[in-house]
């Protein structure tokens, strides 16, 4: 059994976890992904690291991962062998 104050602090954060509304479902004044005639982001979901607060939503400073593929990878591999 918790005292009233402890119960309040225990569930204070939890009550803000629901509902989770998607950015594309919002209005353009509420979220950078909001607005438009269809639920689509409408621009690249990646944003640069030095973007101002409020613009940084989605994939922040995304980097490429995984195995390098294509012509650039082939030339880089040749340079390593030589």
DSSP result, 4-54: HHHHHHHHHTGGGS-----GGGS-TTT-TT--SSSS---S-SEE-TTPPTT
> 4-81: what fold?
Ribosomal protein L2; domain 3 (4.10.950)
Q: What is the structure's pLDDT at 40?
A: 97
So what's the pLDDT on residue 52?
Answer: 96
Rounded Cα distance between 80 and 82, Å, is 6
pLDDT of 53? 95
The rounded Cα 49 to chain-centroid distance in angstroms is 12
pTM, to two decimals: 0.62
pLDDT digits (tens, 9 = 90+) for 24-43: 999 999 999 999 999 999 99
Q: What is the pLDDT of residue 75?
A: 83
User: In the chain, which residues have pLDDT < 70?
Assistant: 82
The rounded Cα 71 to chain-centroid distance in angstroms is 30
């Amino acid at each position: 059994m918790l005292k009233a104050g402890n119960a309040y602090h225990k569930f204070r954060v939890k009550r803000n976890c629901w509902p989770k509304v998607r950015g594309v479902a919002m209005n353009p004044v509420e979220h950078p992904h909001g607005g438009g005639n269809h639920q689509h982001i409408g621009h690249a979901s990646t944003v640069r690291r030095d973007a101002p607060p409020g613009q940084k939503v989605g994939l922040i400073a995304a980097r490429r991962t995984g195995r390098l593929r294509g012509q650039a990878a082939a030339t880089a591999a040749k340079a390593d062998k030589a």
